[in-house]
Structure 1
Amino acid sequence: MATLPNPLPRLGALGLDLPPGRLVDETVEGPWREPLLWLADEQAAPGGWDALRHTAPTAGLLPVLVEAGGDLGGPSAWELAPGEVSYPGDHDAEDVLAEHWEECAADGEEWPGLAPAADVTAPDAAASTLAEAVVAGGTGSFKEPRLALVPARRSADIPAAIGWTGPANHDDDVARLCAVLRSWEDRHGVRVVALGFAHLLVSVAAPPTTPAEAEALAAEHFAFCPDNVLQGPGTLTTYAEQLLGRRSWHFWWD
């Protein structure tokens, strides 16, 4: 994956106000050639994510909350595989979604195309609000969320930057799904807020406000993460109803 120089090896010289933590380089192939992320030692405190959101990007780093509790908690147990990841910018979001739609949709049902772009305002503020909810336990999905810093220029690239393999049973190159996240960044003000072993939480600054918009996005979500529909409400129509006005999207892969 093509990236800028990794600032993590000189983290101590960047002047960031960080709690105690460590650099993580563990992968399925052993230690990686450079750190993949910085991870706090303790559960995140209120306000910590927002503070880093204002300071870390100037150093080439982006904050994300990672799940450290449970049997598969913590990036060291996530089977990270950065060597198997391509670059998100090399993929077209609609091509990726159309391909997965053909694999997962009912026979003969044509890919409906991308949902139209919304009027996006204050995406980073929406991300901060959701991060605070995760830290406070308000989402109920992430056990012991800890602060992490990832060398990435775009929030959508965070999973690819660490070689995250959560969706491997659906797509074995997470950069392809990051291309979709980039498109959602542009069209709906999405930000990656939290990661677990095989689930992902994003904030949404501009969610769908009409049934037609929600139905179009439901098709994208189905192609991106079929389990959300098949092991959730079961139909795209019911799933679309749940997207109306919703400012967070949670995806999980079985």
Structure 2
Amino acid sequence: MSFALPDGLPRGQFLPSELPRVWVSDEFPRNVEELWPRLLSEQSAYGLVPLLCQPDAMGTPLSLEQVDAVSLEEELAADFAEYRRRRLPWWTDPTPVLAPEGIEPWPHDPGPPFEQWPGLAPSMPTTPASPSPEEAASNLLAWLVKRGLLYECRLALVPARRGSDALALIGWSGGGYLPLLCALTRSWEDRFGAQVVAVFGSEVYVSAARPPVEAEHANLLALEHVLSTADNIVDDPPTPFPEYAMDLPGRTFWSFWWD
């Protein structure tokens, strides 16, 4: 079953795939920076989430019931316990890790400053200086366009109640455990005004209208990013956890990729 489309779209088609049907443009929209804010503003009217993605990133849709079934705090607490068990020998040994010839030794990583799962980072309030979630998403889109990162992408319109469910409904296949990642993005949407803007290859770009501003809260969010299992957070290139966390206060977009 197809659905009503907003006006002013480029050429495109409904994918002949499993429900839910997804509409995808034939090419990267030349006017995407003007089109994108309007699609976000019309999201509630049409029930369609805009997403920039490569067609080959789409797979078998993930049932939203599988995302609903994720007990996020329980899952992250268990994942952190296992992550800490595996990493603790490196965190407690200050000896520099050997690097390939010609490369400076990788810095010592003391790891997160927690012995037990500390809980989720708290929700951030809206302030007069805060962009709206739509503005933050549009700013990230403009940044990606300026750097030429999206031209192999297409515009997808995904029938979803909330933007954070789009990854599940396109069956994103780039890496990571999709039910957990979708549960995380749902929670970030609620706490930080987050929006998944683009997925290509094994990369995901997320805007955040209300990011943490305090170091304490940034440490908590950094741990959530680590537990997403994305390889770029502290592993590639090797980045000490405190350094990664220090870069998060006030940062209005986050990127993740899986090797």
TM-score scaled by structure 1?
0.79
Letter in 1 for 2:152: E
How far did residue 105 of structure 1 move? 2.9
The within-5 A match list for 1:50-129 is: 50-66=37-53, 74-75=54-55, 77-78=56-57, 80-82=59-61, 86-107=65-86, 109-120=115-126, 121=130, 122-129=132-139
Counterpart CA distance in 2 for 1:19 and 1:231 is 37
Counterpart CA distance in 1 for 2:230 and 2:6 is 42
Deviates more, 1:116-125 or 1:203-212: 116-125
Report the counterpart of residue 20 of structure 1 in structure 2. Answer: 11
* C-alpha contact 1:135 1:145 (8 A) present in aligned 2: no
Measured at CA, do residues 15 and 114 of structure 1 come closer, stay the same or move farther in structure 2, by a change above 3 Å?
closer
Measured at CA, do residues 194 and 79 of structure 1 come closer, stay the same or move farther in structure 2, by a change above 3 Å?
closer
Counterpart CA distance in 1 for 2:158 and 2:43 is 9
Q: Does 1:251 align with 2:256?
A: yes
Measured at CA, do residues 16 and 180 of structure 1 come closer, stay the same or move farther in structure 2, by a change above 3 Å?
same
Counterpart CA distance in 2 for 1:192 and 1:209 is 21
Counterpart CA distance in 2 for 1:49 and 1:181 is 20
1:202 aligns with one of 183, 193, 206 = 206
Letter in 2 for 1:16: D
CA shift digits 1:30-81 (9 cap, x unpaired): xx33454211122232211112112243121111111xxxxxxx32x23612
Letter in 2 for 1:204: A
Counterpart CA distance in 2 for 1:82 and 1:15 is 23
* C-alpha contact 1:204 1:249 (8 A) present in aligned 2: yes
Tell me the matched-pair count.
225
**Structure 1: gaps (5+ residues):** 1-5, 26-31, 67-73
Deviates more, 1:118-127 or 1:82-91: 82-91
Measured at CA, do residues 123 and 78 of structure 1 come closer, stay the same or move farther in structure 2, by a change above 3 Å?
closer
Measured at CA, do residues 87 and 57 of structure 1 come closer, stay the same or move farther in structure 2, by a change above 3 Å?
farther
Larger radius of gyration: 2
Measured at CA, do residues 253 and 86 of structure 1 come closer, stay the same or move farther in structure 2, by a change above 3 Å?
farther
Q: Does 1:160 align with 2:168?
A: yes
Q: Which runs of 4+ in 1 moved over 6 A?
A: none
How far did residue 188 of structure 1 move? 0.9
TM-score scaled by structure 2?
0.78
* C-alpha contact 1:159 1:175 (8 A) present in aligned 2: no
The within-5 A match list for 1:24-43 is: 24-25=15-16, 32-34=17-19, 36-43=21-28
Counterpart CA distance in 1 for 2:18 and 2:212 is 42
How far did residue 220 of structure 1 move? 0.7
Task: Give the percent of matched residue pairs that are identical in Structure 1 and Structure 2.
Answer: 38
Q: Does 1:187 align with 2:174?
A: no
Measured at CA, do residues 241 and 106 of structure 1 come closer, stay the same or move farther in structure 2, by a change above 3 Å?
farther
Measured at CA, do residues 182 and 56 of structure 1 come closer, stay the same or move farther in structure 2, by a change above 3 Å?
closer
Q: Does 1:48 align with 2:53?
A: no
Give the secondary-structure state (helix, strand or coil) at the position aligned to 2:14: strand
* C-alpha contact 1:24 1:35 (8 A) present in aligned 2: no
Counterpart CA distance in 2 for 1:143 and 1:54 is 23
Letter in 2 for 1:110: Q
